[in-house]
Structure 1
Amino acid sequence: MNYLKPRFVNKKRRFGISIPERLAKSLDALTQALGADRSSLIREALREYLHDHSHYLKPHECGGVMILLENRDHMYLLHILEEYDDIVCNYNHVHVGRYCIDIVVVSGSSSRIAHLHNRLLSELKCRIRYIPIGKCSLELAEDMQP
């Protein structure tokens, strides 16, 4: 027995989840293509999701990048962003082939950024990925290592 190693460093907890059949088939196809197992893929996906969202749990000043895909109402997006001009540092709209990509750089209160994120999700009905930047997101990522 190794007395120098903390007892719970690599402790794992097993739990079941229910997902739609199509999602399960996609997961199985990806595990086969990557030569990985389901648990590893789900663990990595969960780690990424927690990295991108857990900083909302503790109020702090931070920054990040919101990437919006499949947004059909650019004028309404601009209207919303004007209401958050205290945290929006930059906005860019680009085309990649026939696809539109909106990129919003934000900096400020984590609660205000979370409010903008949630509002965009609920009102625009598009895909949004928020990527936090800075020391806070890195510290949280270290806490979530396996």
Structure 2
Amino acid sequence: MLQKKCMEGEIMGKKRFGISIDEDLTDKLDKLSKALSTDRSAIVEDAIRGVIAEHSHYLYEHECKGIMILVYSEGKGCSIFVRQLIEDFKDIIQFSSHYHTGNNCTEVFFISGNSFRIRDLHSEAKKRKDISVRYLPISEIR
């Protein structure tokens, strides 16, 4: 596909903007783009698309279902934090399962309820920097 450059330096249908990211992250991005035979912009655009797909349903209130996955290291007080999350959000956590994967713990929640309440759970879980959190709305599974 040919891309026409506009007088302002923009590519038709695309908008150029600058971001600042950590040097180590830039190095990893460069290695990944080389391994995938693509450019950084394509990888960043794909990542942004994924974040929007994962989080856009939080913008409007509705009932939804999904799966939330939390991964954390054992022995850092995370299990107490996660148990408290389960207690605080038991109205939307329909099921939870705990797995040990090497030195990590993986917690899987099946969630059903108000999207704003799910957003609150997601935000609360992400407050801990040592816990990786992903939420996948079931409607997004294809």
Query: For 1:33, which of 32, 35, 43 is the aligned residue?
Result: 35
Distance in 2 (CA, whole Å) between partners of 1:18 and 1:37 is 17
Structure 1: tracts of 5 or more residues without a match: 1-9, 139-146
**TM-superposition CA deviations, 1:31-73 (whole Å, max 9, x none):** 0111111111001000001110111011111111111111542
Structure 2, unpaired ranges of 5+: 1-11
Q: Which amino acid aligns with 2:54?
A: D
> Is 2:39 aligned against 1:53?
no
Q: Could you tell me the percent identity over the aligned residues?
A: 39
Q: RMSD of the alignment, in Å?
A: 1.9
Alignment of 1:1-146 (within 5 A): 11-70=13-72, 72=76, 73-123=78-128, 125-134=130-139, 137=140
In the TM superposition, what is the alpha-carbon distance from 1:95 to its structure 2 partner? 1.4
Q: For 2:97, what is the secondary structure of its paired residue? A: strand
* TM-score of the two chains, using structure 2 as the length reference: 0.82
Q: Which moved more, 1:49-58 or 1:80-89?
A: 80-89
Q: Judging changes above 3 Å, is the alpha-carbon distance between structure 1 residues 124 and 91 closer, same or farther for their aligned structure 2 residues? A: farther
SS at match of 2:61: coil
Measure, in 1, the Cα distance between the counterparts of 2:17 and 2:128. 34
One-letter amino acid of the structure 2 residue matched with residue 92 of structure 1: S
Residue type at the aligned position of 2:52? L
Task: Name the CA distance, whole Å, in 2 between partners of 1:130 and 1:29.
Answer: 27
Instruction: Count matched residues.
Output: 128
Give the distance between the partners of 1:30 and 1:103, measured in 2 at CA.
29
Cα offset, 1:126, TM superposition: 1.1
Aligned equivalents of 2:45, 2:129: Cα separation in 1: 29
8 Å Cα contact 1:87-1:106 kept in structure 2 = yes
**Residue 125 of structure 1, CA deviation:** 4.1
